[in-house]
Chain A
């Protein structure tokens, strides 16, 4: 019908929004501002039926433009944010929070702190209860900034301590910040979520004041409570804590085991393998082999000398003892189709030799065992090594030749 094509307020503003969107995507801030200027009169209309109303649009778009536009200043930005806070009471805390993030990105810690404090004291009838989550976040971030202040005071104290001064005022300040920070940080990490930065800071505080039990409890909760989303970092933090505490290898290993399950390519896998290799228990050593092979499945580890040396060491040990050669066979089984091209090609042999002789050494050892002395990689590297009259390569050649039957067992 004729009225479908009628140009009215709504259609005109929809078109305006799509021009803004295009401009934003192409980072044309001036053009986006031009169209936003035309869009803002939407505020005078009622859009209560829409999912996202013009006030939210204007807030989000305006923020983007002011943040990136070359002629926009922080003062203008702040002024704009203040206006946005008055626009929608249902979003008040969210706007405050995002404003704080921007201030932090801009290094304005004090202003951020002020805004957080102001937001904390906000009350608005039933909205206060509805926006409870945002309020918790605000309190948490204020706690975080309190932690930063605590940290600063701590550094000052340590400096003065070195110089022989004792500063009671600084110490008291430090304790005050600790109390303020601890209260809020403790609250937020009770709620299931990803709170890496809060957890780290809180644990730092607890450790400094000697409350290791609380720290351990917090980290355990964070890592093992099923209500919390799976988070590899939780296990990393726990592991690091346990290590600092000098815990037994057993508990360290159990902490890293889960990390291996979630992120087999994690950088801590080297530590993990090292620990496992040294274990007296057969199962643990077996796991160690599994762990290091799994890590080297990932492209990011291809040129990691340490990882290869771990694997080489373990392979050498197994071969030398002639026990548990089956382990290598089992691990190699699922990899024999693709590791040769992935790690042991002739091209890689040349490149590794040129760039990093230690890397080529370790890799050659592994290749020599799993692929035999006639494989491309081993032949090239050992030949080059012997030609260069490097002792260890001669030893390597001897070793692999001597243990060639192992290869036959693995491949057969």
Chain B
């Protein structure tokens, strides 16, 4: 009553008096040594503290917050993201015109705004319905509790037991636990129908806008910038204005605890483009950054490969027609054309070229390398011959270092932010206590860490690995010559390597199993795995995605030969 100290055991302030005049905690029955007299003297000096805390309590009650809809929240998120992307150097058109219009179009098509009957209006009617038991009998609409137990791959927000139990009592009240007006309705909507907005989808919107403007940012780069913190994603909601109270079901919508996956964002973007009935996107021509010729040049540089390889990538691109405008440009809703992953495609082209020139069967490439090494000893004029072995050693070393750094960073991600999240008001004090403890512990152990955690994130850069020609230690291979692996035949430069092995003889049906091929490391040569690994690191995607594209390219490249062959050989002669 008068005693305001926190209990040593359970930190509650809930005191009673024993017969002996001692204070005991009503929550955990901890008996203290403090007797009434002692406290009284303290009380007098602390009376000011009491009135102040009373004052705060009053304030809380008036702090009602405003009504807000989920789509408003997403609008804020998109705005923040667009601002960040603009800060990266993208033209302001993206934010002010393109993205804006896409979003409006979306709102209109999904009937959340800009139309005659916005979906929000039906919310109140639904809440009344929920109080009756008819809801459960409706097989189409999942019950609230069922929703809560759905395990999306996102995380365990729904496993908070106290939340589940508190919501089960909700059926009597008219307001479902969410800070927003339509939080519960949002989650109950049938996903397939109206393309419900999610956090990963915000990135789909961004990417779509970037693609429309043909900005020089690939999807893998965009996602990397998100993870590196240059584009808000995790915990964006902390920038919502004070009045927009976020709690309950809102958390399921806005608080994600996983990084979005390339495929997810990519596929959603295409769905979105079709949903919005967008016309054919602006043409991707050979002067665009996203054109394979351009991207190949970038990736060749980053992979520390000789510039001369670019001729070869262009040849492959031309031969299989993936540099054509119609192939590269997105036409939403056209189901016959394969959706183009520009970055993955370019990487795969390079892999195919390496296979063409070096075979990469864990044997031939090393032989060629030895051969080149020999010739390099006598080579006095011009640039050195490219030696696969040297390249491998240099790149592997750097890659290992960077990969190790990346793995450690991933283990050190901080997912939570200062803004506390509670499912319900009951939950609030517990959440705040926990947060305080976390902060205390972070301070305590942070001091013992030895190193100062970097205060700012490093500047966003397009290149993760860089190699300078000015280094005299010979670690830059850009200027190296491919003469060691080429020969002249009838005035044309062809590869000395006469063989090629196909990654897969038969492609899977992508629509059925989601992939063109299934990559298993043990079934392929180490060199091939290494090369896949290199681009997998640069693009931050699984090697199997690149492998899929490689298979696709190979099948286009050797199309005729494949149809001719009746037997299935794994090695074909060119």
Contact = CB atoms under 8 A, between A and B. Distances in A.
B30 A122 contact: yes
B448 A30 contact: yes
A3 to B, nearest CB: 5
A82 to B, nearest CB: 8
B245 interface: no
Given A2-B263, A46-B160, A34 B451 contact: yes
A29 B451 CA distance: 12
A76 B448 CA distance: 11
A12 B411 contact: yes
Interface stretch (B90-98, B430-438, B496-504, B524-532): B430-438
A38 B445 CA distance: 9
A153 B401 CA distance: 64
A62 B445 contact: yes
Contacts of A1: 514
Which size bracket describes the interface of A in this complex?
Answer: 35 or more
B31 interface: yes
Nearest to B416: A41
Is chain A's interface secondary structure helix, strand, loop, or mixed overall? helix
B449 A15 contact: no
A74 interface: no
Interface in A64-107: 65-66, 69, 71-72, 76, 79-80, 83, 85-87, 89, 92
A121 interface: yes
A15 B410 contact: yes
A10 B261 contact: no
Contact of B261 (A6, A29, A36): A6
B10 A44 contact: no
Contact of B442 (A18, A37, A123, A124): A37
Nearest to B545: A2
Given A7-B258, A16-B411, A124 B438 contact: no
Contacts of A58: 441
Interface stretch (B103-111, B149-157, B288-296, B319-327): B149-157
Contact of B441 (A62, A71, A124): A62
Nearest to B258: A8
A321 to B, nearest CB: 73
A3 B514 CA distance: 13
B9 interface: yes
A12 B441 contact: no
B363 interface: no
A3 B154 CA distance: 10
A37 B262 CA distance: 30
Given A6-B261, A33-B448, A49-B159, A41 B9 contact: no
Nearest to A7: B259
B410 A43 contact: no
A46 B10 contact: no
A37 B38 CA distance: 39
Interface string A23-50: 0000001110111111011011110110
B409 to A, nearest CB: 10
A38 B451 contact: no
Contacts of B410: 7, 12, 15
B156 A10 contact: yes
Interface string B20-40: 000000001111000000000
A118 B259 CA distance: 46
B344 to A, nearest CB: 13
A85 B6 CA distance: 14
Contacts of A19: 408, 411
Interface string B431-462: 10011011011101111111100000000000
Contact of B431 (A33, A38, A44, A69): A44
Contacts of B258: 6-9
A244 to B, nearest CB: 43
Given A2-B264, A15-B407, A46-B159, A124 B9 contact: yes
A116 to B, nearest CB: 15
B468 interface: no
A66 to B, nearest CB: 8
Given A46-B161, A85-B9, A124-B9, A37 B449 contact: yes
B11 interface: yes
B450 A33 contact: yes
Nearest to B542: A5
A8 B155 contact: yes
A210 interface: no
A72 B447 CA distance: 10
Contacts of A9: 155-156, 257-258, 415
A65 B9 contact: no
Contact of A33 (B263, B411, B412, B445): B445
A125 interface: yes
Given A35-B411, A46-B161, A122-B30, A8 B259 contact: yes
A92 B407 CA distance: 35
Nearest to A20: B411
Contacts of A49: 159
Given A30-B449, A83-B437, A6 B153 contact: yes
Given A38-B413, A40-B441, A123-B31, A8 B154 contact: yes
A10 B151 CA distance: 14
Nearest to B27: A124
Contacts of A30: 448-451
A9 B450 CA distance: 25
B28 A34 contact: no
A43 B434 contact: yes
A123 B28 contact: yes
A97 B350 CA distance: 63
B440 A124 contact: no
Contacts of B31: 121, 123
Interface string B53-81: 00000000000000000000000000000
Nearest to B451: A34
B522 interface: no
Nearest to A17: B411
Nearest to B29: A123
A346 to B, nearest CB: 57
Chain A CB within 10 Å, residue with most, of B154, B261, B413, B445? B445
Nearest to B433: A86
Nearest to B259: A7
Contacts of B512: none
B27 to A, nearest CB: 9
A38 B414 contact: yes
Given A9-B155, A38-B411, A86-B11, A69 B160 contact: no
Contacts of B153: 3, 6, 8
B10 A89 contact: yes
Contact of B155 (A3, A10, A16): A10
A261 to B, nearest CB: 49
A87 to B, nearest CB: 7
B445 A16 contact: no
Contacts of B264: 2
A3 B261 contact: yes
Given A37-B446, A123-B30, 19 more contacts: A3-B153, A7-B258, A8-B155, A9-B257, A9-B415, A12-B413, A29-B448, A34-B445, A34-B449, A37-B441, A38-B414, A40-B438, A62-B445, A83-B437, A86-B11, A86-B437, A87-B437, A89-B9, A122-B30
9 nearest A-B residue pairs (beta carbon): A8-B258, A30-B450, A9-B257, A33-B448, A34-B449, A15-B411, A123-B29, A16-B411, A38-B412
7 contacts: A8-B257, A8-B259, A9-B155, A37-B445, A43-B434, A45-B156, A71-B447
